Structure 1
């Protein structure tokens, strides 16, 4: 049997935090490694507990979720943590900053429990998670802040098919949806995604979305 995914829950609302802990601990393949109510405590606990995934709120006392994510998932830490931001839609600007800080994905707080649990498993597996229904609204709203003037598509070292896959990833499509759109297998899509990330020096699909907007590949 594989070891359960160890999750650190960070939310300053005790009722929400208790609910998350209860839902997660009820799963045989997940376990709560710890819980806390502010970002600094999350950073401290993560250093001691080494969780597989940190479920992070955004607005919290002492240290907010964005700053905590930057410390947990940044390139300068010995062992970057996988952070799943769970927030409300009206905080989408904060979510955008959290993704840039290194979060592996985000979900909305009104997400059904089953989707939240699957989100934790997805992030733990090393994949990024973007709620498809808000991907374009979220990143597109801030595209002007990350897209430079002029056409930079000529600088992108991808084959035409890899570039096509990047555009579809930026549109929030899953591997299955990309496979259907391009009439290829999901395994082939995974190969293209891996090559695309490696060539661009990107960690995951979240960074790929931001890259696509920065280079004017998505309108």
Structure 2
């Protein structure tokens, strides 16, 4: 299946290279380079899903509500956990570093295009370590995040499902892992979304990280 991809250019040398790689890929329908998300959305007419590679830092930043048919993949020089969390909170589908190799770029595009969430290992590790006062010194394991009104009622099974969603598994794969039918997994995910108020995988991934349900990458 051909994936439609556009680039919102921050005028960096890195993004010029990204555009060249995408143009040369047989599995990508490259829409072009745009100055803003609005211009890209106008080109990606018809509502057909499109992955947009962009860097909101610095600049106007991410929109409060991303365009429905645009799946955003942030490729930024910022590795700050606060920036990663802010992007996930806005519903982006993936976040990778500007130093990422071509393989990582294409894996991220494929995951975001499929509706999954993609974070490279370096960023997962940074998020897991966020809040450690002295990363150079051995620390006591941090306790899980304090339950809030929206997460306190999650059952153990719902937490299992939430963790696997955050790890990027499909509903079918989660069912195989937990020995449940896909329909049952669909029901669990629906309940988790209702309880957390998160409508998409990006938001669910952020909640899983805050609850420390995901392990840092090796």
| TM norm. shorter chain > 0.5 | yes
1:111 Cα deviation (Å)? 1.3
Q: 1:7 aligns with which of 5, 9, 14?
A: 5
Q: 1:126 to 1:218 in 2, by over 3 A?
A: closer
Aligned length: 194
1:97 Cα deviation (Å)? 0.8
> Could you tell me whether the CA contact under 8 Å between 1:43 and 1:72 is conserved in 2?
no
1:135 Cα deviation (Å)? 2.1
Residue 198 of structure 1 corresponds to 190
Residue 116 of structure 1 corresponds to 105
For normalisation by structure 2, the TM-score amounts to 0.70
Residue 84 of structure 1 corresponds to 73
**Is residue 2:199 matched to residue 1:207?**
no
1:47, 1:139 → 2: CA distance? 37
Runs (4 or more) in structure 1 with deviation over 6 Å come to: 149-152
SS at match of 2:56: coil
Q: 1:59 to 1:133 in 2, by over 3 A?
A: closer
Residue 55 of structure 2 corresponds to 57
CA RMSD of aligned residues (A): 3.6
1:154 Cα deviation (Å)? 4.1
**Is residue 2:16 matched to residue 1:21?**
no
1:81, 1:141 → 2: CA distance? 29
Residue 135 of structure 1 corresponds to 124
Q: Counting helix residues as a fraction of each chain, which structure ranks higher?
A: 1
1:85 Cα deviation (Å)? 0.7
Gaps of 5+ in 1: 74-78
> Could you tell me whether the CA contact under 8 Å between 1:43 and 1:71 is conserved in 2?
no
2:90, 2:54 → 1: CA distance? 13
For normalisation by structure 1, the TM-score amounts to 0.69
Q: 1:212 to 1:17 in 2, by over 3 A?
A: closer
106-115 or 51-60, which deviates more:
51-60
List aligned pairs for 1:163-182, cutoff 5 A. Answer: 163-170=159-166, 173-175=167-169
2:185, 2:123 → 1: CA distance? 21
1:150 Cα deviation (Å)? 6.2
Deviation per CA, 1:179-198: give whole Å up to 9, x if none.
7xx9x835958937644432
User: Could you say which structure has the greater relative contact order, defined with CA pairs below 8 angstroms and 6 or more residues apart?
Assistant: 2
